[in-house]
Amino acid sequence: MTDLTGKHAVVTGGASGIGRAIAAAYAAAGARVTVADRDEAAANTVAAEIGGTAWVADLDDTASLEGLSLDADILVNNAGMQVINPIQDFDPAAWRRMHRVMLEAPFLLIRACLPHMYANNWGRVINISSVHGVRASPFKSSYVAAKHGLEGLSKVTALEGGPHGVTSNCINPSYVRTPLVENQIADQARIHNIAPEDVVEKIMLTECAVKRLIEPDEVGALALFLASDEAGMVTGASYLMDGGWTSR
Ligand code: NAD
């Protein structure tokens, strides 16, 4: 059993889906958890459920993160969103917003945490990337580019943090059963010109050998391992949880 007693974990996007599952797993392991999310009501609900604290923050406002100092021992960069469109139709403002939330904010939050982690000679940075951090799909130019960037940021953090007891890793899931995926079904149906009820089978599971969505708790279990003392030699890695997608 992983024991995170005495550790402070900050989980961005902790009010829903994968972040919520990770926040719950860490709290169950004894960590003090801060649920960072722009959705105030949902953040308060999750924080109350797990005995944690809500931090209402819009990570799109990256200027507000520049002077930040955080006493987190474990940082989970998880907040994210999806917008699907062909490149020629992709709204540049949406493209940039996704990069701010999914790449620039993780950089600024890591930057805000490292002095505390280095002072304690212990830290865990866990970046929720995606199978799209190592593979591309059409119509996801911003998402794929941001996740590939996050992979690079994670590796640099691993190299700089290694001498200070700080590890940095990515988790790379295929499709997980969360609101982000449920909200994507209509867009995928429109852009691929298929029926919404066919999207999971024909688009989301085509490449996977295991033909099902991932449950958020399965990602939570991997994030718990990566936060443990036993994972101290695991760094700069990208952990695929993709039902075999990238085995092709
Ligand atoms: P979700 O929509 O269920 O949860 C995302 C959370 O992030 C929400 O609570 C939302 O309020 C928060 N958030 C979004 N923008 C924010 C902002 N600007 N500031 C603060 N909080 C913000 O999504 P999810 O499926 O749990 O996704 C979480 C992460 O996992 C994302 O980075 C996503 O790219 C990644 N991921 C998801 C899947 C999947 O299939 N669901 C697969 C691979 C990777």
> What spacing in Å lies between the alpha carbon of 54 and ligand 1's midpoint?
16
Q: How far is CA 151 from CA 19, 126, 133, 200, 248, in A?
A: 18, 11, 6, 26, 20
If you compute the radius of gyration of the chain from its CA atoms, what whole number of angstroms results? 17
Q: Which residues pair with 76 in a beta bridge?
A: 11, 126
Topology (CATH level 3) of domain 8-176+216-241: Rossmann fold (3.40.50)
CB neighbours of residue 78 within 10 Å: 28
Which residue's alpha carbon is at the smallest distance from atom 43 of ligand 1? 130
Specify the 3-state DSSP secondary structure of 171.
strand
**What is the value of pTM for the model shown?**
0.97
- Dihedral (CA of 242, 146, 226, 178) sign: negative
- Which atom of ligand 1 is least distant from the CA of 39? 11
For 218-243, write each residue's pLDDT tens digit: 999 999 999 999 999 999 999 999 99
Pair 20, 14: CB distance under 8 Å: yes
Rounded CA separation 184/174 (Å): 14
Per-residue pLDDT of the chain (248 residues; tens, 9 = 90+): 899 999 999 999 999 999 999 999 999 999 999 999 999 999 999 999 999 999 999 999 999 999 999 999 999 999 999 999 999 999 999 999 999 999 999 999 999 999 999 999 999 999 999 999 999 999 999 999 999 999 999 999 999 999 999 999 999 999 999 999 998 999 999 999 999 999 999 999 999 999 999 999 999 999 999 999 999 999 999 999 999 999 99
Which residue's alpha carbon is at the smallest distance from atom 2 of ligand 1? 180
Pair 101, 80: CB distance under 8 Å: yes
How many Å from the N-terminal Cα to the C-terminal Cα in the chain? 34
Rounded CA separation 192/115 (Å): 47
**Per-domain boundaries in the chain:** 8-176+216-241
The ligand 1 site (C-beta within 6 Å) comprises: 13, 15-19, 37-39, 42, 57-60, 78-81, 101-102, 128, 130, 173, 175-176, 178-181
Q: Which residues are known to be catalytic?
A: 143
Specify the 3-state DSSP secondary structure of 126.
strand
